[in-house]
Copies of this chain bind each other. A is one copy, B any other.
Amino acid sequence: MQLTMTGEYALRAMIYICSFPGDNVFQISDIAIKNEIPDNFLRKIIPLLCKSGLLNSTRGAQGGIKLLIPAKDITPLMIIESVEGEISLNKCMIANEFCSNENWCSVHVLWAETQKKIKEMLSSKTMDVLAHDNTERFNAFHLQKETNKQLRKKNKE
């Protein structure tokens, strides 16, 4: 009942990319290092984000990847489903996955409702907001740490 590393890394990468102006170009190796993602693994994940139309990649010298659509039009759900396929809480919720009880199973209905709710939640925020919040909170957190350090130093004197 958990996100895989693939999804986690995709989210991290996208948050990172969305923290910069939309036309910035990034190298995969750079994203990998800055976000503690295994380089080779990220190279398998980025193409998925390209195929789903979130990113655009160009090979060769001066190549790299960049946002294909604005961060304000991207939701976490889109990212997760790009790399992990459609979210489903139970095998019986996958279309075409045969479940003989589908017609009458009362739990099936509950799964369906829950799944819908999850999708709603993961679509309720867009990447521009999340990325922005992230940098703000990051800065505030480290500023606070720095302040505390200085206070402790002062108290010692």
Q: Could you list which residues of chain A lie within 8 angstroms of chain B, going by C-beta atoms?
A: 1-4, 7-8, 11, 15, 76, 84, 87-91, 103-107, 110, 113-114, 117-118, 121-122, 124-125, 130-131, 133-134, 137-138, 140-141
User: How many whole Å from A146's CB to the nearest CB in chain B?
Assistant: 14
CA distance A134 to B137 in the complex (A): 47
Contact, CB under 8 Å: A104 / B1: no
Q: Which listed residue, B1, B90, B134, touches A87 by the CB 8 Å rule?
A: B1
**Residue contacts A-B, CB under 8 angstroms, 20 given:** A1-B2, A1-B3, A1-B88, A1-B89, A2-B89, A3-B89, A3-B91, A8-B91, A11-B107, A15-B107, A76-B110, A103-B141, A104-B138, A104-B140, A106-B133, A110-B121, A110-B125, A114-B118, A114-B122, A118-B118
| CB proximity of A131 to chain B, nearest CB, Å | 8
User: How many monomers of this chain does the complex have?
Assistant: 2
CB distance from A102 to the nearest CB of B (A): 10
Residues of B within 8 A of A91 (CB): 2-3, 8
Shortest Cβ-Cβ A-B pairs, 3 listed: A104-B137, A106-B133, A114-B121
Known contacts A1-B84, A114-B118; decide if A76 and B138 are in contact (CB<8 Å). Answer: no
**Chain B nearest Cβ from A15, distance in angstroms:** 7
